[in-house]
Amino acid sequence: MARKLPPKDVVIIGLGWTGSILGYELAKAGLDVVAIERGPWRDTASDFPPAYAQDELRYAIRLDLFLRPEQQTLTFRNKMNETALPIRSFSGFLPGNGVGGAGVHWNGQTWRFLPTDFNIRSHLEQRYGADALPADMTIQDWPLSYDEIEPYYDRFEKLCGTSGKAGNLKGVKQPGGNPFEGWRSAEYPTPPLKQGLGATLFAEAARKTGHMPFPQPASNLSEAYTNPLGVKLGQCTYCGFCERFGCGNYSKASPQTSVLPALLRFPNFSAQTESEVTKINLDSTGKRATGVSYVDSSGQEWEQPADLVLVCAFSFFNVRLLLLSGIGKPYDAQTGQGVVGRNYAYQTTSSVDLILKDKILNPFIATGAHGMIIDDYNGDNFDHTGLGFFGGGYMGFGQTNARPIETRPVPKGTPKWGAQWKKATAETYQRACSLATHGSSYSYKDCYLDLDPTYKDRLGRPLMRMTFDFHDNELKMSAFLTDRLAEIGKAMDPAEITAHPRQGPYNSTIYQTTHNTGGTVMGTDPSTSVLNRYCQSWDVHNVFVPGGASVFPQNHGYNPTDTVGALAYWTADAILQRYLRNPGPLG
């Protein structure tokens, strides 16, 4: 029997990056805000202090900070004609859980999309011909331009204190930065991180082979910094326990280190943890949300009425919630009709492993986002004529750690155990490094999310079903990028080099990234999008999905978080300046 709570102005589903940003902006404006978070409260000193945060087994292998599949999971299949089976244990991608969400255990890699990414379809058709794109590729233009989102990128980066070097300030190219990036209105809030030997060798080789390397933009801060909310972050100590781990010394931007201390000061904000939202409730017209229902950890159901519902969970959980709540027309891959679940995309990564000659790399000295990168082969930065694919990605040296359970390279052909293995492991660890490409993942008709017909969660609701595989476009792209990267790798004069271009089929058991995008696409046309350009539902005007990666029409050759954060601010502005003044469809 659900118990009804007193109404709030705003209910926020999920207290990660977007939930925290929206919570702050709306609480600051005086609204009564409650955030409902499925997982536990998390805080630096009690949950990941630098006394036990640095535990590879617990956090990187046993995945202690991540969502337990027992609490919630997905089913997966490569193709529509296969049977999807449950992901019983996460490995290929790692959804977070708890306050801070993925913002706690991300790497801090902070990238803007390119200007041409925002009108990718019309740009590619214009450059390469109206028939250039494969028929089943469903990429589409974003409903906003780079120029429009630029100030919001700047705002999110200032929130985080991102460390980097601008390559384009107001249209003027800057030495030392990314020459391909879109224009910036301001320099990065803090200077670039220091670089180790591996990144330095890569940068030298990249320059030698005619490329333009620059330091990776990092929300692991190069120096202490006070953000516009007055919250202070510390200096990153290059500990090498970044992705999958919470930061122990306040030096990785996260909701905890960047927003929550200021947000929790508002008496009109509260967080309800260990409570899972099960449904967004609608009135009898189906066009207006009345609030949400949620279940606490002892199974008690609650109803939280609210005037505004913000769907701020992790990307595919946003999709699932809309489907379970009956908001928007579900996508039917057979007919191509419908929108909720459409255009699921991922990321196309690959690596080139090197064993150098006589070097002491100290690979355990690392941050989540340090390194030297080139962007020459991203987006449409290079001519794709005759290549047989579209898209691209950044590449370079961004090795985040050398934690020995997972990372102890050996030369090709070394046995996996025994005396030879032991000798090779001892002799290679200090000399080995890994380069990576980080490529786009365009959308296709047969890559989508819907509800599984068979498997249920612990509350008896259908699991989300993911249907996804790489297409030829992405595999060809990966082969191309990997070849280019291997050329640079060769110029580092290695003793051994092994290229690992991405191969199909997509394997959900091998970790690649947790950049799952799409499913609640933002657009200008309700027949191909779930949200309008303000991330407002076309169908239910008081429901917004403020910028989780589920709003991406496709994924480009960069990590999603900077764009996610920027869109959160973009949506906050739309709500404060437009919606609240005149609640209704913003068009």
Partner 1 sequence: MRTASSSTITRRSLLASSAALLVAGAGGARARCISGGMPWDPGAADPPHLVRPGPWMFFTLDEAGLIEAAVDRLIPSDAHGPGGKQAGCAVFIDRQLAGPYGRAAGLYMKPPFMPGAATQGYQMPDAPAARYRAGLKALADYIAATFSGKSFAELAPDDQDRVLAGLESGSIALKDVKAAEFFALLLQNTQEGFFADPIYGGNREMAGWKLVGFPGARYDYRDWVERHNEVYPLPPVGIMGRSDWTVRE
Partner 2 sequence: MRRIFAAALLLVSPVASAGSASADSQDFDRIERGRYLAVLADCGACHSKPGGQPFAGGLALRTPFGILVAPNITPDPETGIGNMTDAEFLASLHDGRGRNGRRLYPAMPYPAYTKMSDDDVLAIRAYLATLAPVSNAVVTNRLPFPLNIRLAMVFWNKLNFTPGRYQADARKSAEWNRGAYIVEGPAHCGTCHTPKNFLGGDNNDHALAGGTLQGWFAPDITGDVRKGLGGWSKDELVQYLKTGANKWTLATGPMAEAVTHSTSRMTDRDISDIASYLKDDGAHDASPRPTPVEAGDGVMRAGQAIYRDNCAACHRDAGTGEADLFPLLAGSAQVQSDDPTTLVRVVLQGTRAVSTLARPTAPAMPAFDWRLTDAQVAAVLTYIRNSWGNAAAPVAASAVATQRTSLAKTP
Identified binder of partner 1 from the candidate list 91, 122, 126, 527, rule CB under 8 A: 91
Site for partner 2 (CB under 8 A): which residue of 1, 6, 46, 412? 46
Q: 178 contacts which partner out of partner 1, partner 2, none, CB within 5 to 8 A by kind?
A: none
Best CA proximity match to 222, nearest among 237, 207, 208: 237
Query: What would the 3-class secondary structure string for 101-134 be?
Result: CHHHHCCCECCCCCHHHHCHHHHHHHHHCCCCCC
For the purposes of burial, counting CB atoms within 10 Å of the CB of 460, is it exposed (0-12), middle (13-18) or buried (19 or more)?
exposed
Q: State the Cα–Cα distance between residues 313 and 318, nearest whole angstrom.
A: 6
- 44 binding partner 2? (CB under 8 A): yes
Tokens of 181: 């990036």
Identify which of 120, 540, 486 has the alpha carbon closest to the alpha carbon of residue 321: 540
Give the three-class secondary structure for 141: coil
Tell me, yes or no, if 515 is annotated catalytic: yes
Q: Which residues contact 567 (CB under 8 A, 6 or more apart)?
A: 18, 149, 152, 522, 535, 546, 547, 551
Stretch that binds partner 1, among 112-120, 146-154, 190-198, 389-397 (CB under 8 A): 190-198
Contact stretch for partner 2 (CB under 8 A) within 44-52, 362-370, 383-391, 446-454: 44-52
Closer residue to partner 2 in complex, CB, 15/492: 15
Cβ proximity to partner 2, 44 vs 140, nearer residue: 44
Q: Which range of residues in 228-236, 330-338, 528-536, 545-553 is near partner 2 by CB under 8 A?
A: 228-236
Q: Is 249 in the site for partner 1 (CB under 8 A)?
A: yes
Q: Which is nearer to partner 2, 72 or 227 (CB)?
A: 227
Going by C-beta distance under 8 Å and a sequence separation of 6 or more, which residues neighbour residue 455? 75, 84, 86, 462, 463
- Residue with Cβ nearer partner 2 (161 or 391): 161
Question: From CA 309, how far away is CA 359, in angstroms rounded?
Answer: 55
Of these, 129, 171, 175, 230, which contacts partner 2 (CB under 8 A)? Answer: 230
Q: In the complex with partner 1, which residue's Cβ is closer, 85 or 324?
A: 85
502 contacts 350 by C-beta, under 8 angstroms: yes
Asked if 404 interacts with partner 1 (CB under 8 A), we say yes
Stretch that binds partner 2, among 6-14, 40-48, 402-410, 490-498 (CB under 8 A): 40-48
Q: Is 46 in the site for partner 1 (CB under 8 A)?
A: yes
Establish if 6 lies at the interface with partner 2 (CB under 8 A): no
Q: Which residue, 232 or 533, is less far from partner 2 as judged by CB?
A: 232
Q: Which does 262 bind (CB under 5 to 8 A by kind): partner 1, partner 2, none?
A: partner 2
Asked if residues 585 and 579 have their Cβ atoms less than 8 Å apart, the reply is no
- Among 9, 204, 274, 573, contact with partner 1 (rule: CB under 8 A): 274
362 binds partner 2 (CB under 8 A): no
- Sheet with 393-397, strands from edge to edge, namely 214-215, 372-374, 393-397, 432-439, 348-356, 494-500
Q: How far apart are CA 284 and CA 441, in angstroms?
A: 39
Nearest residue (CB) to partner 2, 230 versus 418: 230
* Pairing outcome for strands 33-36 and 8-13: parallel
503 lies in the site for partner 1, by CB under 8 A: no
Q: How far is the CB of 570 from partner 1 (least distance, A)?
A: 27
Does 526 participate in binding partner 2 (rule CB under 8 A)? no
Other residues' Cβ atoms within 10 Å of the Cβ of residue 224: 14
Q: Pairing mode, if any, of strands 494-500 and 348-356?
A: antiparallel
Cα separation of 161 and 176, whole Å? 19
Contacts of partner 2 in 263-322 (CB under 8 A)? 265, 267-268
Of 100, 94, 545, residue with least CA distance to 319: 545
Task: Tell me how far apart the alpha carbons of residues 219 and 495 are, in angstroms, rounded to a whole number.
Answer: 33
Q: Is 85 a residue that touches partner 1 (CB under 8 A)? A: yes
**Identity (one letter) of the amino acid at 124?**
L
**Minimal distance, residue 42 CB to partner 2, in Å:** 12
- Sequence-separated (6 or more) residues with CB below 8 Å from residue 206: 212, 213, 372, 374, 396, 488, 491
* Of positions 122, 454, 503, 527, contacts partner 1 by CB under 8 A: 454
Residue 234's binding partner among partner 2, partner 1, none (Cβ under 5 to 8 angstroms by kind) is partner 2
Measured distance CA(131)–CA(470) in Å, rounded = 21
The entry of partner 1, partner 2, none near residue 308 (CB within 5 to 8 angstroms by kind) is none
Residues in contact with partner 2, total (CB under 8 A)? 27
Binding status of residue 69 toward partner 1 by CB under 8 A = yes
Closer to partner 2 by CB, 41 or 421: give it: 41
**Out of 27, 34, 206, 239, the residue judged to bind partner 2 by CB under 8 A:** 239
Please say which residue, 41 or 128, places its beta carbon nearer to partner 1: 41
- 83: partner contacted, choices partner 1, partner 2, none (Cβ within 5-8 A by kind): partner 1
Please state, in angstroms and rounded to a whole number, the distance separating the CA atoms of residues 112 and 563: 6
CB of 433 to partner 1, least distance (A): 13
- Tell me the CA distances in angstroms from 241 to 53, 65, 363, 397, one per residue in order: 8, 13, 12, 17
* DSSP calls for 183-239: PBSS--SBPPPP--HHHHHHHHHHHHTT---EEPPBSB-SS-EE-TTS-EE-----B
Q: Please identify which residue in 186, 426, 472, 584 interacts with partner 1, judged by CB under 8 A.
A: 426
Nearest distance in Å: CB 236, partner 2: 10
If one asks whether residue 402 binds partner 1 (CB under 8 A), the answer comes out as: yes
Residue of the chain from 119, 209, 235, 507 that contacts partner 2 (CB under 8 A): 235
Strand partners, 306: 8
Q: Which residues are catalytic?
A: 515
Binding residues for partner 2, per CB under 8 A? 43-46, 49-52, 224, 226, 229-235, 237, 239, 248-250, 261-262, 265, 267-268
